[in-house]
Amino acid sequence: MKNQTYRMTMLFDFYGELLTDRQKEFFDLYYNEDLSLAEIAENAGISRQGVRDVIVRAEAAMQEVEDKTGIIKRFEAQRPHLDAIAEAAEQIRTINYRQFEDSRLTELADRITAETSALKD
């Protein structure tokens, strides 16, 4: 995957609900809100090392699930194919507009675009 923060936020998006409330909170503050370990520790009333331990355990737990399931890996592998399908639908829409003006082709291209968007989300 790309960089560490991107990888961690993807793990959190897919597997965050498997974490404890404290792990979710600290992870979110560190990666999404960009707070330092010291800032989180001060707000939580614990040591910086305590915060780091919680975050490291959360990272490890989510990475373990990803290693076993490979859901994110498959998701990332599908993206270029979905983009290609969406682009083909756009080309169908353009050709239809310029040459055929067939409302059924427009409906089908719109449906393909909607379905690929739904799969990306």
Q: Is the pLDDT of residue 1 over 70?
A: no
pTM above 0.75, yes or no: yes
pLDDT tops 60 at residue 28: yes
pLDDT the model gives residue 22 = 98
List, in order, residues 6 or more apart from 120 with CB less than 8 Å away.
79, 82
Residue 77, pLDDT score = 95
Distance CA 54, CA 106 (A): 52
- pLDDT of 121 reads 78
Q: Which tens digits make up the pLDDT trace of 66-102?
A: 999 999 999 999 999 999 999 999 999 999 999 999 9
Give the pLDDT of residue 2: 59
Q: What is the mean pLDDT of the chain?
A: 95
* Mean pLDDT, range 34-50, rounded to an integer: 97
